């Protein structure tokens, strides 16, 4: 989807993907320590970034939709959390060379050539002990029709992750049934791929 299409979707809803943080992220709560630096890519209206900031992390939330960016700033203010909320293309942002303890990548589906570039930039942006928390639609999601891109090359399977994140140590890699929530459609079943990869550089 183009930035214009995302802007239109965000403009015609109140909270497009709801207020609740990603459940896979919440299940990792015990690994999160106050003061850690976290980057939330394609963070939309920032429900995940805000939740991370509430855990005491130093959060940067990046999305290139101007409409989501304004909503994210308003939500962070209402939540009373301080965080960096940046309106930028994620590939441009990651080219700045900043490093993070945690990078969260939830349901950001880029076209194939950009997707590979994104993965390498994420790996390069991890601190030596940093890790990636990832949940995106699995290729099997095409059979569900409950959300996500219809182009199989923008979706994921286990082999994609093993190949493209081979520089990381895989902690978790699992296909999972997930609740796909969208304001206009409510919760519907879908299938995702969840992944946690640690930087193995010393
Ligand atoms: C499906 S939404 C996911 C939002 C949020 N991560 C979540 O899980 O609810 C995908 C988000 O990625 C953003 N996005 C898509 N391409 C992007 C890019 N190249 N740079 C930054 N953000 C992008 C969109 O604007 C949108 O907010």
Whether the CB of 10 sits within 6 Å of ligand 1: no
pTM of the model: 0.96
pLDDT at 129: 94
Tens digit of pLDDT at every position of the chain (202 positions): 899 999 999 999 888 888 899 999 999 999 999 999 999 999 999 999 999 999 999 999 999 999 999 999 999 999 999 999 999 999 999 999 999 999 999 999 999 989 999 999 999 999 999 999 999 999 999 999 899 999 999 999 999 999 999 999 999 999 999 988 888 888 899 999 999 999 976 5
Report how far ligand 1's centroid is from the alpha carbon of 57 (Å).
Answer: 21
Report how far ligand 1's centroid is from the alpha carbon of 109 (Å).
Answer: 8
pLDDT digits (tens, 9 = 90+) for 45-63: 999 999 999 999 999 999 9
pLDDT at 201: 60
- List the domain boundaries for the chain: 34-199
Domain 34-199 fold is: Rossmann fold (3.40.50)
Please give the number of the atom of ligand 1 that sits closest to the Cα of 40: 6
Whether the CB of 89 sits within 6 Å of ligand 1: yes
Nearest to 98 by CA among 125, 60, 62, 136: 125
pLDDT at 182: 85
Report how far ligand 1's centroid is from the alpha carbon of 42 (Å).
Answer: 3
């Amino acid at each position: 989807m183009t930035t214009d299409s995302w802007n239109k979707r965000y403009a015609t809803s109140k909270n497009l993907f709801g207020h609740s943080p990603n459940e896979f992220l919440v299940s990792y709560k015990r690994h999160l320590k106050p003061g850690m630096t976290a980057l939330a890519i394609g963070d939309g209206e920032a429900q995940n970034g805000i939740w991370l900031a509430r855990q005491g992390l130093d959060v940067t939330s990046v999305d290139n939709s101007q409409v989501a960016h304004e909503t994210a700033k308003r939500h962070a203010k209402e939540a009373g959390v301080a965080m960096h909320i940046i309106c930028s293309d994620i590939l441009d942002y990651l080219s700045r060379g900043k490093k993070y303890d945690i990078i969260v990548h939830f349901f950001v589906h880029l076209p194939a050539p950009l997707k590979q570039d994104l993965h390498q930039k994420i790996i390069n942006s991890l601190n030596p002990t940093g890790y990636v928390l990832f949940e995106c639609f699995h290729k099997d999601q095409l059979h569900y029709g409950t959300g996500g891109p219809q182009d199989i090359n923008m979706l994921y399977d286990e082999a994609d992750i093993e190949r493209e994140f081979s520089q990381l140590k895989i902690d978790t890699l699992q296909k999972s049934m997930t609740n796909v929530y969208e304001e206009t459609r409510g919760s519907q079943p879908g299938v995702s791929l969840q992944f946690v990869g640690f930087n193995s550089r010393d």
